[in-house]
Amino acid sequence: MSKRNELIFLRILFVVSIGFFLNLIRKPLLKDWLIIFVFKSYIASILDYLVVKKGYITYPVRIFKSFDISVLFSYLIFPVTCVYYNQATKNSRLPGILFKCLLFSLPSAVAEHFIEKHTKLVQYKKGWNSSFSFLSIALTFLFVRTFISIVRKVEKA
């Protein structure tokens, strides 16, 4: 894929992600969804910064060239996906939470693997692979899900 096509692809992802974001803020529990969105953005940006700084991942083609991390992924796609995951697991018990975590994390990791293999949007270095991406995605989904559960319990008290 050429650099021009990759930038077009990123712009399309940006517009689609904004659409998904606007859809999710129309749902009840707006405060919870915004907390999840901001918290996930914060976590994703820190983790992305660390793996880029350590040289495990690079983003040769970026919309926002001022940043070494993938701003689109860390601040929009990943947080929006996490909010949808939390909406899907709001009333779930642990087995359902874990199963849905797999349902949300696996396609994200597969998509990243495909993008890494067929574009220059992301490149794995120093032994990083799709398994590490899957684990980091799944663990952050579970971490944020635990965090919002605690927030909800404290709020009720």
pLDDT in tens, 30-48: 999 999 999 999 999 999 9
Q: Where would I find the H helices in 55-125?
A: 71-72, 78-89, 94-118
Q: How many domains does the chain have?
A: 1
pLDDT more than 70, % of the chain: 100
- The per-residue pLDDT of the chain, averaged, comes to 94
Res 1 pLDDT > 80: no
Cβ distance 147 to 37 under 8 Å?
no
* pLDDT the model gives residue 117: 94
pLDDT more than 90, % of the chain: 88
Res 27 pLDDT > 90: no
Res 79 pLDDT > 90: yes
> Residue range 108-131: average pLDDT?
94
Residue 93 structure tokens: 């018990």
pLDDT band at 53 (very low <50, low <70, confident <90, very high): very high
Provide the domain limits for residue 20.
3-156
Res 2 pLDDT > 90: no
Task: Give every CB contact of residue 7 below 8 A, 6+ residues apart in sequence.
Answer: 61, 63
